[in-house]
Amino acid sequence: MRIVVDANVPAAEACFGELGEVIRLPGREIDATALRDADALVVRSITRVDASLLAHSSRLRFVGTCTIGTDHIDRNLLDERGIAFASAPGCNAEAVVDYVLGSLLTLGERQGWQLAERRVGIVGVGNVGGRLLRRLTAMGIDCLACDPPRAEAEGAEGFHTLDSLIDACDVICLHTPLVREGPNATHHLLDATRIAGLAPGTVLLNAGRGDCVDGQALRQRLAQGDITAVLDVWEDEPAIDTALCDLAELATPHVAGYSLDGKLRGTHQVYRALAHQFGLTGRLTLDDLLPLPSVVSLVLDGGLAPEEALRLCGLAVHDPRRDHDSLHRESRRLGMAAGFDACRANYPRRREFATLDVRLRGAGAALAPLLEGAGFRVSLG
């Protein structure tokens, strides 16, 4: 079996190599010619799987994406051709939540506010937004949720309309999929009117899909200097709006979910699906793939304010400012599109909050509920 795999998929040889011959290519270089003799294709989000890509793929029987999102896949085309499909729902959701918490704590330190004093609105309460809601609630943060499809299916209780959420919250986190048509379309969900109506001091964080925000309108509003944006996703990736990038307080190259844990979960989920599709035995477990983290534990005594302790633990795992600085540095060196892709292709190893054991001693024990709620492993003594 011949398996074409995006070069940025980690542990590809370890997983897919036991199932067949692995051909690794950069995601933007996977084309119809490369798939001519392929039996299976494994991609990430930058490869658009459509009729042009599959023009010569008479042997292809499986497509997998090691990502949560699937809007880069023409699912109808795969169904028409009888090609099996698998994605990796939830694989990097914990990493995205880590990114959100780390970014908000960083902003609070820079701007002189406490996350505990903010009301956070979460737009899209699925794999990522649902986890963010649970963690923030466990931390004692006031949250509101907006998810029209869930409200329709489950009842309106506990959900808010987007406009009422915008009016009530001073932090707005977007975690919606990209839906271009229909009553629950999310393309430019935050359009020029809603962006203009954001209250001064609002923090807008988008780690969902770039096309859910009108980038031009956001750039114009940010130029006024009265709101703050944290942007990990963009319209027209990788050739993103340089001016918008410069105006964002934190601008990162679609790496919110780029933890090693999340990537390996995605690889492993697709590996299991591919093995099942071809009637093979997938012997590897996720634990077989995960190495020990570089920072295993921290010991905290009393003396740290709660959000200082949160920032310290978060920075021991991941500092979002590193990703911001990397995007600006590489875009100056290579140009925006090439720099954006270079940051993703050469992303350093990053683990998740849950890999850090925080040992609390003495008065530090009072921090246990907050740190556990944020997602760290906590022990006492």
Q: What is the C-alpha separation between 216 and 213, in angstroms, rounded?
A: 9
Peptide bond into 238 cis (omega under 30): yes
Catalytic residue, candidates 209, 221, 265, 351? 209
Q: What is the C-alpha separation between 245 and 233, in angstroms, rounded?
A: 10
Catalytic residue, candidates 118, 150, 235, 237? 237
Q: What is the C-alpha separation between 208 and 213, in angstroms, rounded?
A: 10
Q: What is the C-alpha separation between 198 and 201, in angstroms, rounded?
A: 8
Q: What is the C-alpha separation between 171 and 111, in angstroms, rounded?
A: 13
Catalytic residue, candidates 44, 254, 344, 351? 254
150 is catalytic: no
If one counts every other C-beta atom within 10 angstroms of the C-beta of residue 76, the result is 8
237 is catalytic: yes
237, 130 Cβ separation under 8 angstroms: no
State the DSSP string of 322-372. HHHHHHHHHHHHH-HHHHHHHHHHTPPP---GGG-EEEE-GGGGGGHHHHH
254 is catalytic: yes
Residues known to be catalytic: 209, 237, 254
